[in-house]
Structure 1
């Protein structure tokens, strides 16, 4: 029997994976023939037969049906076909989805939702609007992003604690404090879901790849809304990429924060033109492009069902390993050389 934490984890994973099981199963190494909807021998627990099994994904849950052993979903199918430890399978799927694990609050083990909301609120109030000359402004200017007036969903925190859990310890330990850029992550109802933190030092990221952290998991299609959506919306993965696209195009822009969440991004019905600015991850299994096109496919299908006349476009930088923030920086450098 699963404990409560494990059940919550499985439930969250299934929610995030909804509608994406075919690509997940393919990436996990499930035979392509199994995923084509043909009648086949059942791969579940040696059930066998000749044509009793069919994968349908009928309800977006990786659904299959076997005339002998019954029906099931993507998680059961993946575990049966791949074998191994169930926990390792969850780890692999969560990495594909871009699932961020909960970062424990200082002194808390498994914080409740109310405590997490309180922590988000307190942290936000400790910060101030981004202003010229502060550390966030310096950082963004170094990225070629000269906003003048910054979105209200971004804030500057002068000394935010950076915590890490040491081996063998149950609670996270304060390592240092750094200036930080805070970004408010909003759900479909416009309410704050959590905060995204970028730790800074001397106008640069303070901790390399570890500089960016969500305060809690479960963003489930939420976004950092740099602008209010109109009938047009540009969407990206990263915040810096969104700011660059915003400067480059003048479009209202949202950041999904990672490719797994980009696939799940909620877009209001009033948006009739969606421009998806994907990262070029040709050097990393095309994760950025794949997520962008999965989002585009879903938005088109949803619009068709709702009777909306919506246009969806995907834009990908030509060079592998680049995003639209890189393109923006390169264009600024070119302009300076030409001046």
Structure 2
């Protein structure tokens, strides 16, 4: 592996890179050339030698080690000592191994509210969500990181993006065989907890071991006055392109509530808008039903697309904002969202009409 020791290094956020690397240091240090002993074994120190003075404990998931001669530190310090790198060079090489692009090495900014709402440990400084999640594993699955390390830069000409008529955004990668889009499932600390794979024909699968619940894919926006939460990637890209707002992709309807609650815990004052799929062709309209539950839990707003009778896309009957974009254009998406948002919900963003939550309730009851 050719390690990057160029003086022209990207400006990377060290906290975000360390958060993304937490719990993965054994699979990071070895590819970067640092010899490590088996779990719990004593061995020669990679830096100062000796016979059995070195222990790699990874006690808190930060690559912790201890040497009886040169003392201890974390994974970044070990890389610096072993290779003679400066701190920024170590950060750079870890970020490259994790396939973190410069844009995704910055913390996802939930407007101006994120900086002082998340504790250093990553635990929100607010009460636990109403639906308390079970305790998660201490560390993300190692096979997820290993697959992510094998991904390649994605192309804006990928077949799925062209079919959906949306633009590639930072953070999406391409599988090793260049066929599937690889979409990371992240938490508010930017740690990688899972991967969604999207084939050119739109088939979506999760990599084995992925932990989807409460995790999401973030799409950064230029307007930080609100955050939209959607089910699918194409829907999120359509909403972002039409409004300029940041969006998080929850991957499916059942994950809208856990994602919304996690973001609300991190950002108590940020206006959250659930951009629902309008599954009018399915009994009970699960898209609207799940979106209403999520919006109610986080005191958010709900918007949904509406289609002319008989409207159809290449994939069949339309349901989401990406379908609306492909049928009527981005302006129709923006106008529909402005039509449904309650007046004053997003500061300075004037809706066309007032609140229509009662209509959403009727749709959830099964009306087409």
TM-score, length of structure 1 as denominator length: 0.49
Of Structure 1 and Structure 2, the greater helix share is in: 1
Query: Which structure dedicates a bigger proportion of its chain to strand?
Result: 1
